[in-house]
Amino acid sequence: SKNSLHPSQLMMAAKEELYTKVTPRRQRQNRTGTVKHGSSLDVLLSMGFPKTRALKALVSTGGRNVQAACDWLFSHVDDPFLDDPLPREYVLYLRPSGPLLHQLSTFWQQSRVTCGKNKAHNIFPHITLCQFFMCADGKVEALSEALQATVGSWRGRFPNPLPLELYTSSNFIGLFVEEQVAEVLKDFAADFATEAATKADVHVEPHKKQLHVTLAYHFQANHLAALEKLAKGVDVSLGCDWLAVLFSRDIRFANHETLRVMYPYVPQNEDELELAPGDFIFMTPVEQSSASEGWVYGTSLGTGLPGLLPENYVRRADECDTWVFHGSHSFSNPASPSNAGGAVGGLLFDGQLDGRFLDDPGDPSSLTVLCPPVQMLSPTTQSCLPKRSLFVCRHGERMDVVFGKHWITQCFDAKGRYVRSNLNMPSSLPTRSGGFRDYDKDCPITVFGSTQARLVGEALLESHAVIDFVYCSPSLRCVQTAHNILRGLQQEGKTKIRIEPGLFEWTKWVSGTSLPAWIPPTDMAAASLSVDTTYRPHIPISKLGVSESYDTYISRSLQVTREILTECKNLGNTVLIVAHASSLEACTRQMQGLSPQNAKDFVQVVRKIPYLGFCAAEEMGETGVWQLVDPPILPLTHGPNHSFNWRETLQQD
């Protein structure tokens, strides 16, 4: 009976019942292929949805089809603003296509790799024709018709090609439209404003500033020369069919920071959000002030619900990632562009699109890439490994941090025999040729540190990752971590750990006047650690100096990482480096073509990396340049567990 069904089953049953009411007749289309809201609206109304909700669903999904609107309505059933008549904000852009678009996409990708992300990357390449303006849901179809009519009246007199001139300043690089031609474009925008006021009763304010395509904005001063050089490589004389494109955004979140959900999360408390990969979260500093450290307070795009969520389950997204596409029109080919709308997510530029922009807006399949629907992907489906991958991981929880330096005197007697005094201490330790005092500078990991490492290995196994090579710092804590990762991967004994002294942390951080007396690989193998005793290091211990400079450490890390990747090329796809917190930054930053940070900023980054902090990078083709990507595993978070003495706590007078 229905009373015995789970709420989610009831929801699915209701959806199936409603979908059966949808008449399989062909929906009415206009001559550009647009699904008219009228026919879709009639179907939704016949299914029992209130008109305001039906219109909001159609507009929020770009008018793609009835099923997309139904899915939106069911996912927003608890949205507190579902019946709010608040209109959306719209904007009209000119978007390049064809050869010029390929040039710009190449610049976008190269600039991001060379100098990192700047504010220009928040929105795809475009020329702004008007300010954002509001339009009621019931007027959106008329607004689209106004744009179509205006473009139609301008065919044959739209300036083509547009003369573009490179302009550079200390914090801006762009392509400006020649002034006379810019005035013609502003006339087009004014005509659209008039048509929109007549047909849709909306007020559109044409853009009055200089018209341009922004290439780079708000970047670091030391990146100016590199960005300018790349910008000069853009051939503005190439052909281009400029498209008039209409987008909208939710006005409530116009000034919010946009975050992309990377991992699923099941709420533990009533005030927490359920997270599905592929969804987006809107967050403001005001909302964030009510959240505790490590948590974010925001609103889900997929459900409209607000709540708390773990900060390390999301990452920053681009501003336009949540915009809705409402159609594009060509000035030269009336039959080419489609007006069919699209849903949210990854509109024009995204790492998942390999940095490519659409080159054929007339291809219906292109619009699917242009505005793909929000897909709730599992971590497994997201973690398809590229041709060559580099993983860098910090070691597990270390003994001297948990128990203090005095752990050695607590656990070793006068004869050097080891006895643990806490369950989180390992039951046994390798014998050292220099005596147990060598543990002072080269401590082991705790039992929980071993568990942390095994969990990471098990997660890699679940993601179908196969580690071809493992390189490791000579520190015992790193070797033990790598060994336990291989245990979790079920590759213990199959894959040997290559101990590489060049991966040791910045030697300035070592106390005293000498480096640690590390356990030799042969002794580690004798202690049942999966170590390759035949491996010859790229940088031997003799080449490491005490209190090396920051520049020396950064150069050393880059050199050894490059040599490791060269050594493994054509022999395996995936390399795992297990080393120190500093390694995640030092072994990957320059591999991306980025300049090293200064020592102060570097230290701040390192302090934020926890035990088993994990990052991943992929090689971009055969360029030798790598880019950071999402790891194939979830993050590992845990809380502190303080020492407990029952006598002191429970047996008080």
Single-letter residue type at 561: T
Reduce the secondary structure of 612-645 to three states and give it as a string: CCEEEEEECCCCCCEEEECCCCCCCCCCCCCCCC
pLDDT at residue 240, as a whole number: 84
Same domain, residue pair 259 and 275? yes
542: pLDDT strictly greater than 90: yes
Given phi > 0 = left and psi -120 to 50 = alpha, else beta, which region is 621?
A: left
Examine the domain organization and report whether 166 and 39 are in the same domain. Answer: no
Number of domains in the chain: 4
Same domain, 542 and 397: yes
Residue 285 CB contacts under 8 Å (≥ 6 apart), including other chains: none
Interval 461-484 mean pLDDT: 94
Report helix, strand or coil for 427.
coil
Domain boundary among 30, 57, 76: 76
pLDDT, tens digit, 9 for 90 and up, residues 33-59: 343 455 889 888 988 899 999 999 999
At residue 247, the pLDDT reads 95
For residue 371, is it within any domain? no
For the ranges 120-124, 219-223, 553-557, the one whose mean pLDDT is highest: 553-557
Residue 481 and residue 451: Cα distance in Å, rounded? 9
Pairwise pLDDT comparison (475 vs 350), residue with the higher score: 475
Q: Residue 313 falls within a domain, yes or no? A: yes
pLDDT value of residue 92: 96
Residue 615 within a domain: yes
pLDDT at residue 335, as a whole number: 55
Has residue 345 got a pLDDT over 50?
no
User: Residue holding tokens 């220099």?
Assistant: 434
505: left (phi over 0), alpha (psi -120 to 50) or beta: beta
Burial state string for 633-652 with b = 16 or more CB within 10 A and e = fewer than 16: bbbbeeeeeeeeeeeeeeee
pLDDT of residue 4 exceeding 70: no
Q: What are 296's two structure tokens?
A: 């974010």
Q: Which of 60, 68, 83 is nearest to 27 (CA)?
A: 68
| 432 and 283 together in one domain | no
What is the model's pLDDT at position 38? 56
What CATH number should be reported for the domain holding residue 44? Answer: 1.10.8
Comparing 188-202, 304-318, 639-653, which segment has the lowest mean pLDDT? Answer: 639-653
* Cα angle value 453/457/463 (rounded, 5°): 145
CATH number at residue 434: 3.40.50.1240
Rounded Cα distance between 563 and 103, Å, is 33
449 and 564 belong to one structural domain: yes
Task: Kindly state whether residues 40 and 57 are assigned to the same domain.
Answer: yes
Q: Considering only residues 584 and 48, tell me which one the structure prediction assigns the higher pLDDT.
A: 584
Same-domain check for residues 261 and 243: no
pLDDT confidence of residue 602:
93
- With 80 as the cut, is the pLDDT of residue 10 above it? no
Range of the domain at 406: 388-629
Output the domain CATH number for residue 114. Answer: 3.90.1140
Active site residues: 394-395, 580
| Least trusted range by pLDDT, from 112-116, 119-123, 207-211, 272-276 | 112-116
593 and 563 in a single domain? The answer is: yes
Instruction: Look up the pTM and report it.
Output: 0.53
Could you count the other beta carbons within 10 Å of the beta carbon of residue 116? 16
Is residue 453 domain-resident? yes
pLDDT at 501 over 90: yes
Residue type for 626, please? W
Contact 336, 153 (CB under 8 A): no
Average pLDDT over residues 370-376: 34
Looking at every residue in the chain, the average pLDDT score rounds to 84
State yes or no: pLDDT of 374 exceeds 70: no
So what's the pLDDT on residue 479?
98
pLDDT at 294 over 60: yes
Measured CA to CA, the distance from residue 450 to residue 225 in angstroms comes to 47
In a domain, 651, yes or no: no
pLDDT at 604 over 70: yes
Sign of CA dihedral 427, 432, 435, 439: negative
Q: Which of 291, 321, 351 is the last residue in one of the domains?
A: 321
Q: Per-residue pLDDT for 67 more than 80?
A: yes
In this prediction, residue 292 carries a pLDDT of 78
- Whether 285 is in a domain gets the answer yes
Q: Last residue of some domain: 205, 225, 252?
A: 252
Check whether 359 has a pLDDT greater than 60. Answer: no
Residue type, 212: H
Residue 56 lies in a domain: yes
Percent of the chain with pLDDT over 90: 58
- Asked if residue 375 is part of any domain, the answer here is no
Q: What local confidence, expressed as pLDDT, does residue 467 receive?
A: 92
Average pLDDT for 526-531: 94
CA nearest to 251, candidates 89, 467, 434, 362: 89
For residue 296, the domain's CATH number is: 2.30.30.40
Query: Which residues, 6+ apart, have CB-to-CB distance to 477 below 8 Å?
Result: 395, 396, 398, 442, 443, 444, 445, 449
Q: Are residues 190 and 226 in the same domain?
A: yes
Q: What average pLDDT score do residues 536-549 get?
A: 94
Radius of gyration of the chain (CA): 29
pLDDT value of position 412? 93
Are residues 55 and 95 both part of a single domain?
no
Q: 487 and 455 share a domain?
A: yes
Residue 97 to residues 103, 207, 325, 369: CA-CA distances in angstroms?
Answer: 10, 22, 16, 15
What mean pLDDT comes out for the span 143-147? 94
- In the 3-class helix/strand/coil scheme, how is 454-485 assigned residue by residue? HHHHHHHHHCCCCCCEEEECCCHHHHHHHHHH
How would you classify residue 547: left for phi > 0, otherwise alpha for psi between -120 and 50, otherwise beta?
left
pLDDT at 355: 32
> Percent of the chain at pLDDT above 70?
85
pLDDT for 652 equals 63
- Asked whether residue 391 carries a pLDDT value surpassing 50, the answer given is yes
Give the confidence band of 21 by pLDDT, cuts at 50, 70, 90.
very low
524 or 335: which carries more pLDDT confidence?
524
Comparison of pLDDT for 11 and 137, the residue scoring more: 137
Token duo for residue 520? 């030799």
| 205 pLDDT higher than 90 | yes
Q: What is the mean pLDDT of residues 237-259?
A: 89
Short-list 278, 283, 279, 280, CA closest to 255: 283
Give 117's DSSP letter. -
Same domain as 315, residue 426: no
HEC sequence for 171-184: CEEEEEECHHHHHH
